């Protein structure tokens, strides 16, 4: 069961030669960075740690636990400010940018972050930070949950798109895409006329984040948006 490692009490240490969950998480991240999820097994991790596989079972029950520990270690890489900014939008922007950077450093982590419950202490601390920032803007209930979910979806989707590209082949792929659209310009004139430069992922994400924040500010009632607008509730 995903997330179960956080719902169980830690077993007493027995003959583990000082092995800790932290050490297991750190080595699991390294193994995932090298070999991806397909290369992660209890035996492979035990070999990397220099222990018998049975030793790991004093700390984790299954491979799923390793994934949850590793994912929480990735969230620990997101700097957590000591206090909230005066402008809640600065907090949200900080979180989105830092989350993206952390997930990009570990390409396997994006898919996990979008498919597993984030119940580890590091992930919960970051979730509390961004939820509190949104709450300070006036969001509550479903609007608060939806806004926080949209933040995660935007970041994880952006990371998935960027990670899917092999940067060394990106230029060639973009040329082929432009040619394909230009040949169909009559049907897709807007797409054919859009000439995006490759390798500008940071700029594209920053623009997307600002567009998203503008929408949140409209929803929070800080600025006037065209058309009908429902206040957060």
The pLDDT tens digits of the residues spanning 25-64 come to 999 999 999 999 999 999 999 999 999 989 999 899 999 9
Buried b (16+ CB within 10 A) or exposed e, 59-97: bbeeeebbbbbbbbbbbbbbeeeeeeeeebbebbbbbbb
* pLDDT over 70 percentage in the chain: 86
Per-residue pLDDT tens over the stretch 73-126: 999 999 999 999 999 999 999 999 999 999 999 999 999 998 999 999 999 999
pTM of the predicted model as reported, rounded to 2 decimal places: 0.86
Q: Evaluate whether 45 touches 28 at the Cβ level (below 8 Å).
A: yes
Average pLDDT for residues 161-187, to the nearest whole number?
81
Token couple for 186: 């009559």
pLDDT at residue 14 is higher than 60? no
pLDDT at residue 148 is higher than 80? yes
What structural domains does the chain harbor?
A: 4-75 (1.10.10.60), 88-220 (1.10.357.10)
């Amino acid at each position: 069961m995903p997330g179960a490692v956080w719902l169980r009490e830690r077993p007493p240490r027995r003959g583990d030669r000082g092995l800790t969950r932290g050490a297991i998480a750190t080595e699991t991240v390294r193994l995932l960075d090298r070999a991806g999820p397909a290369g992660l097994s209890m035996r492979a991790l035990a070999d990397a740690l220099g222990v018998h596989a049975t030793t790991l079972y004093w700390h984790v029950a299954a491979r799923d636990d390793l994934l949850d520990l590793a994912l929480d270690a990735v969230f620990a890489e997101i700097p957590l400010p000591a206090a909230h900014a005066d402008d809640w939008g600065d907090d949200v922007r900080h979180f989105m940018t830092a989350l993206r950077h952390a997930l990009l450093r570990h390409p396997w982590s994006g898919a996990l972050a979008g498919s597993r419950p984030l119940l580890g202490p590091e992930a919960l601390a970051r979730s509390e930070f961004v939820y509190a920032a949104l709450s300070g803007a006036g969001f509550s209930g479903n609007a608060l949950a939806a806004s926080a979910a949209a933040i995660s979806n935007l970041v994880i989707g952006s990371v998935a798109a960027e990670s899917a590209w092999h940067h060394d082949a990106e230029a060639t792929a973009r040329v082929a895409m432009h040619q394909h659209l230009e040949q169909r310009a009559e049907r897709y004139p807007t797409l054919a006329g859009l000439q995006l430069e490759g390798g500008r992922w940071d700029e594209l994400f920053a623009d997307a984040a600002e567009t998203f924040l503008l929408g949140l500010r409209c929803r929070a009632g800080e600025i006037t948006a065209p058309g009908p607008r429902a206040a957060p509730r």
